[in-house]
Structure 1
Amino acid sequence: MLTTVLPPHPQQARSGRPGLRAFACWLALSAPLAAQAELGGTVSLHSDLRYRGVSLSAGKPQAQLDLAYDGTEGWYGGALVSHVDFYARSESSLLLGYLGRVMPLAPGLDWELGASASHYPGKDFYNYQELYLGLLGERWQARLYHSPRYYGRPLSTLYAELSLRWPLAARLDGFVGLGYLSTRDDTRNPHGPSRLDTRSGLALRLGQVELQLAHVTLSRGGPYAGPFETDRRRWTLSSSLAF
């Protein structure tokens, strides 16, 4: 799930909703736009960098840097940079990104439309893009993603996610997330064409720092190559500093 790796995009952070992290570099802003826009970022450290339940750091600690831009009329974008380690002697950098727009649907409910791209310099065969559609509530979010070539393989995929976050105490939140990845094109996987991932835990806010303890699970199957197979049940720790 995106929320296992990425920070909330600015539209959601402003309203207290957990959410998406991704990629987009904004090179120029006009003066009237900049006066209303917001630019921020997050530096985070993960005991195991997980994305949709799968480790991108071979189970080892990893840091990442996120930049986020919140524009006018619901537009948003961001940029993420991290080191990834798929398996022995197969390392790369990750540039993961998005550009999207959030629009009101009803009181307390928004919808969004966007596109994201993942790039692995030196290992371009892993590159892929996705389109996504989402519904955003006050304490929950649901999204559906589509990729025509997931992780560079000739596989058309759908990924559905549902995430919830709620306050438990003054600085403590609980969260839970469910993700389901499926394809009709992968007939070679003996465990089937679909994969389920979950993430649940606690988030402690200390000023601009957030600490998270999460339990991640991952089922067998789905459109992943063998090197992505890692521990399918694991506790992870992360710390994030917003600026």
Structure 2
Amino acid sequence: MRKAVALAVLLCATQAHAQFASSIALLSDYRYRGVSLSDGQAAAQLSLSYDAPSSGGYAGAMASNVRLSREDAVQGMVYAGIARRFAHDWSWDVGVEYTQYTGHYSYRYAEVYAGVTYRHIGARLYYANDYFGLGRPALYAELNASQNLGERWYIFGHAGVLQSNGAYEDRRRNDYRAGFGLTLASFDFQLGWTTFRGSEYTGYPVAAGAGRSALVASVRYSW
């Protein structure tokens, strides 16, 4: 969900009106880059964002409950960047985000990213020098797309690859997500299938009982 929010912020940042926005969401499972950060359980999230098209700048924050290594915690993330159009239906953006987790392990790390968007298709590349604060650099590339099916219904898809480098070995994981959504007034409902292939251990702990694949339902209310 976090990446869907980031893509939405990117698209909003290219419009001709400045705005503050906020939302709350409930998810049946919080999947981050294919892996459950809620141990296969439900999660609640709060998101805030702001965009200023006169400068192309945008910023935001997100908080979510998580469960890592069988310990309940909170994930907090802030980000800021700039997005500009460079051709008809095309835009680029660059930015930085910082993520930290509460709890015993207190994972924390920063990432820089750059992306390009064409209509409802967006690609981004992220780099972290110290992924999850474990001394391992990592690259993550993702492709997101959506297509309207009338006024309220839409379909979406996501593909990503995470490459984590260590002193003794390199590890790679691919993740995929696809589904459909329904927008009703200020509510957005989604149902999607998500899975990952490759190494489970690329930085952060994997939920023991969550599994590699899941059907995830979510509802988001924005104001």
When normalised by structure 2's length, the TM-score is 0.90
d(CA) in 1 for partners of 2:185, 2:97: 30
Partner of 1:84 in structure 2?
A: 66
Deviations 1:165-201 (A, max 9, x none): 001232111111000000232645xxx6100000000
Shift, 1:231, TM fit: 1.0
Partner of 1:233 in structure 2?
A: 213
Partner of 1:179 in structure 2?
A: 160
Partner of 1:20 in structure 2?
A: none
Runs (4+) off by over 2 Å: 1-4, 6-11, 13-16, 121-125, 224-230
d(CA) in 2 for partners of 1:8, 1:218: 20
Preserved CA contact (<8 Å) 2:13 2:83:
no
Question: Identity, % of aligned pairs?
Answer: 30
Partner of 1:53 in structure 2?
A: 34
Partner of 2:21 in structure 1?
A: 40
Shift, 1:124, TM fit: 5.7
Corresponding residue to 2:186 among 202, 208, 227: 208
Preserved CA contact (<8 Å) 2:14 2:56:
no
**1:12 and 2:26 correspond:** no
Change over 3 Å in CA distance of 1:144–1:2 after alignment to 2 = farther
d(CA) in 2 for partners of 1:92, 1:238: 20
Deviations 1:203-231 (A, max 9, x none): 11111111000000011315134444531
| Local SS of the residue matching 1:158 | strand
- Which protein is richer in strand relative to its size? 2
> Which segments of 5 or more consecutive residues in structure 1 lack a partner in the other structure?
17-35
**2:213 is matched by which residue type in structure 1?**
R
Aligned residues: 219
d(CA) in 1 for partners of 2:137, 2:122: 23
d(CA) in 2 for partners of 1:213, 1:95: 24
